[in-house]
């Protein structure tokens, strides 16, 4: 048995999310079906994050175990060939020790959220960003974001469907910056709750539009109540961008 | 009558090009139909460039004449509302003197061509870039590109359907640079022949893949023969990015 670590890029638009579902196409199904077609083996894809329907990945990290020997680059090319035309590709493939686990060995995860902030609707970036027409105060957003940094009970920013044992997490970074008509939000933590990034971004947008004072963010956090949530941002603008492992640091 | 100068962004994928065609949807038709719905006037869209099917624009420049008075920002919002869901939007709208012409007043045009140069196929950028799996030597491409700079007969790089009076043009800039897995080509001239940028990029890709020596580019130019063309690059990677006008310099 060989454990292959995969770096995966996908457009979340046509998928029901990363994890296999009974109800529609998923990234996991596309990749496991391709692996079966190549190897004849029923493999299971394990991934650093579980992204929702419509959420994208620039560099998701996953692994599969295969009994037959394969040269990593050939396996990657074969998987990419079989997954066509689904918008998911393996961008890197390496062999890892059997105790390396894409999910359980992962010690850090990073997401990026892209808001296109201009009067005109989206064209080329449709489905790949959140369009907000009203001017956003990105500095107020960044200031409000800092009140979420550290160890907190993130119940307010957690989906009711979240399966995490505890709502207490440590948020390492939540930075908001402007690049022309784009407002980019970067979030980093050891792990996130279900919908946490989208919930935080939704509330930051409330601040950016002036519907919430900067201080409202800390109050929403302290409430530890999903009802205190201002808004859940759409999946379109969310990208899984990085997973960190001790052996790669 | 008021002349409105428009800055237009569009995803060329679903269009048969910018210019109105009898056979399918075009950017011009989408915009003229929207203007008619708003004003009741049959307007004609004049544009700095004529882009082909599948070619995109980040900042095409155009104009329309409207008899009824309109506040530019309201006209822009109304056009964007009516053009939905077509992937074309007006990103800026200003009033210009009657003798300002989007095409004839334009003294400079710039295109960008995006090549994604990596083994894995495209996902998020599908339809928005040219995917080339073999490693490209971008420095050789840049060197070859410089042999096209200046005043030349560009017959080799001209579509047989080109309607320009002369194949002689001055190419001001053709720069090739790498940004990670992306190879970006920037082209600037007062004006271009039909298919000129895609023809030049196709030949640069031949150089980048080592199928053409750097010197082959000058020979292809000197041949002044469409048969000397190596390859016409696909429209997917091409973006109209800038038009220059004397009154805006």
Tell whether B73 lies on the interface with A, counting CB pairs under 8 A: yes
Q: Which residues of chain A have pLDDT under 50?
A: none
Contacts of B8 (CB under 8 A, 6+ apart): B27, B31, B47, B57, B59, B60, B61, B62, B88, B89, B90, B91
Domain boundaries, chain B: 2-104, 108-244
CA distance B88 to chain A (A): 6
Selecting from A80, A119, A126 the residue whose C-beta is nearest the C-beta of B87 gives A126
* B115 touches B130 (CB < 8 A): yes
Report the SS3 class of residue B220: helix
| One fold for B2-104 and B108-244 | yes
Give ipTM to 2 decimals.
0.93
Q: How many whole angstroms separate alpha carbon B220 and alpha carbon B54?
A: 26
Chain B residues touching A118 at Cβ < 8 A: 91
Contact flag A87-B123 (C-beta cutoff 8 Å): yes
**Interchain CB distance below 8 Å, A124 and B87:** yes
The Cα B16–Cα B126 span in angstroms is 18
Q: Is A72 touching B (CB cutoff 8 A)? A: no
pLDDT score recorded for residue A161: 87
**B52 an active-site residue?**
yes
- State the Cα–Cα distance between residues B228 and B216, nearest whole angstrom: 10
Distance set, CA A219 to CA A148, A199, A233, B79, B121 (Å): 10, 14, 19, 41, 46
CA distance linking residue A62 with residue A45, whole number of Å: 7
Q: What is the pLDDT of residue A249?
A: 81
**Residue of B10, B88, B124 lying closest to A56 (CB–CB):** B124
Q: Which of B140, B136, B137 is nearest to B216 (CA)?
A: B140
pLDDT of the residue at A3: 98
Chain A residue nearest residue B121, CA to CA: A89
Counted residue by residue, chain A has a size of: 249
Which residues fall within 8 angstroms of residue A165, CB to CB, at 6 or more apart?
none
User: Between chains, do A10 and B120 touch, taking CB under 8 Å as contact?
Assistant: no
Q: Which residues of B are annotated as a binding site for substrate?
A: 111
Residues of A in contact with B10 (CB under 8 A): 123-124
Specify the CATH architecture of the domain A108-246.
Answer: 2-Layer Sandwich (3.30)
For residue B4, what pLDDT is reported?
Answer: 98
The DSSP code for B52 is B
Class at the top of the CATH hierarchy for domain B108-244: alpha beta
Catalytic residue from among B11, B33, B52, B125 = B52
| pLDDT in single tens digits along all 249 residues of chain B | 999 999 999 999 999 999 988 888 999 999 999 999 999 999 999 999 989 999 999 999 999 999 999 999 999 999 999 999 999 999 999 999 999 999 999 999 999 999 999 999 999 999 999 999 999 999 999 999 999 999 999 999 999 888 888 999 999 999 999 999 999 999 999 999 999 999 999 999 999 999 999 999 999 999 999 998 889 999 999 999 999 999 998
Set of chain A residues whose Cβ sits within 8 Å of the Cβ of B90: 120
* Nearest alpha-carbon partner for B193 in B19, B18, B8, B50: B50
Report the pLDDT value the prediction gives residue B160, as an integer from 0 to 100.
86
Chain A residues inside the 8 Å CB shell of B87: 123-124, 126
- CA nearest to A11 within chain B: B124
Q: Collect all residues of chain A within an 8 Å Cβ-Cβ radius of residue B88.
A: 123
CB contact under 8 A, B120 and A88: no
Q: Which of A22, A208, A87, A122 lies closest to B125, judged by CA?
A: A87
Query: Selecting from 3.40.50.920, 3.30.590.20, 3.30.830.10, 3.30.70.580, what CATH number does the domain B2-104 have?
Result: 3.30.70.580
The pLDDT of residue A109 is 98
> Known binding site: residues of B?
111
């Amino acid at each position: 048995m060989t454990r292959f670590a995969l770096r995966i890029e996908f457009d979340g638009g046509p998928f029901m999310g990363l994890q296999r579902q009974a109800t529609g196409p998923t990234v996991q199904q596309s990749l496991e079906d391709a692996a079966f077609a190549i190897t004849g083996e029923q493999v299971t894809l394990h991934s650093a994050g579980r992204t929702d329907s419509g959420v994208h990945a620039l560099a998701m990290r996953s692994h599969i175990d295969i009994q037959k020997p394969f040269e990593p680059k050939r396996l990657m090319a074969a998987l990419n060939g079989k997954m066509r035309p689904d918008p998911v590709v393996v961008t890197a493939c390496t062999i890892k020790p059997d105790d390396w686990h894409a999910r359980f060995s992962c010690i850090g995860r990073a997401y990026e959220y892209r808001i296109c902030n201009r009067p005109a609707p989206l064209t080329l970036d449709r489905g790949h960003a959140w369009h907000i027409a009203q001017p956003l105060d990105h500095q107020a957003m960044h200031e409000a974001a800092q009140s979420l940094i550290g160890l907190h009970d993130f119940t307010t920013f957690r989906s009711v469907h979240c399966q995490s044992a505890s709502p207490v997490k440590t948020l390492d970074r939540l930075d908001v910056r402007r690049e022309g008509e784009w407002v980019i939000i970067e979030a980093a933590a050891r792990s996130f709750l279900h919908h946490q990034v989208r919930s935080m971004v939704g509330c930051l947008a409330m601040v950016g539009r002036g519907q919430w004072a900067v201080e409202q963010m800390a109050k929403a956090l302290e409430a530890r109540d999903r009802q205190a949530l201002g808004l859940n941002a759409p999946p379109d603008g969310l990208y899984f961008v990085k997973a960190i492992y001790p052996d790669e640091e």
